[in-house]
Copies of this chain bind each other. A is one copy, B any other.
Amino acid sequence: MVRARSEERRAVIVRAALEVIAERGYRGATLAAVAERVGLTQQGLLHYFPTKEALLVAVLEERDHWDTSGGGGREGWRLDLVESLVEYNAMRPGIVQTFSALLGESVTEGHPAREFFTERYAQVRAHMAEVLRLEFGERLPGGLTPERAAPLLTAVMDGLQYQWLLDPSAVDMPGAFRDFVRLLYGGEDPS
């Protein structure tokens, strides 16, 4: 019972953090701002999340959970669902900015989010390989296996986010991602 209440409280905090991120971006999402939103002291918040990084990782995990739980979980995802995810991301710059900023920090020595991103990438690459296998079988039109195309698909998603965050008017993120999917099809229009 105590445990259940604690998990409930954590979920409420994560939800509040997501709202603060959407409104104020990565820098504005301070522990103080999140604590105020849920009616806790900052000290009280630290009981649930000892650092800003720990809270942001929890927010990103929750986003991943929601993003992949439509359509019967991660199994059976199709490539056009990944395209829709990129379109959706283009409408939520706050969380994309948080993901991109924390990913950048995570490559530095001993960063608390390093393990999260390392494991997440292993999972995302495996998941994307399954998406590609479902779409193309064991070989893509260009000759790559799903396992070799998966890191490229993942890299394009992440790399485009930086270009788009820095200059949204210069980079059509969903359009560029669709261009990449067309490349995977060997240039044929998949529709």
* A interface with B by C-beta (< 8 Å): 25-28, 97, 100-110, 114, 117-118, 121-122, 125, 140-144, 148-149, 151-152, 154-160, 162-163, 165-167, 170-171, 176, 179-180, 182-184, 186-187
**Chain B nearest CB, measured from A79 CB (Å):** 15
- Residues on B with C-beta less than 8 A from A118 are 166-167
Contact B182 A183 (CB under 8 A): no
Contact B148 A176 (CB under 8 A): yes
Contact A155 B159 (CB under 8 A): yes
Contact B162 A107 (CB under 8 A): yes
**Chain B nearest CB, measured from A109 CB (Å):** 5
The SS class assigned to the A binding surface is helix
Most chain B CB within a 10 A radius of its CB, from A125, A141, A151, A179: A151
- Docked Cα-Cα span, A162 to B107, in Å, equals 7
* Of B26, B100, B163, the contact of A154 (CB 8 Å cutoff): B163
- Residues on B with C-beta less than 8 A from A187 are 140-144, 186
- Residues on B with C-beta less than 8 A from A141 are 187
- Residues on B with C-beta less than 8 A from A143 are 182, 187
- Residues on B with C-beta less than 8 A from A170 are 121-122, 125
* Of B101, B144, B171, the contact of A151 (CB 8 Å cutoff): B171
- Residues on B with C-beta less than 8 A from A100 are 104, 107
- Docked Cα-Cα span, A142 to B141, in Å, equals 11
The chain B residue with its CB closest to the CB of A114 is B166
- Docked Cα-Cα span, A159 to B180, in Å, equals 14
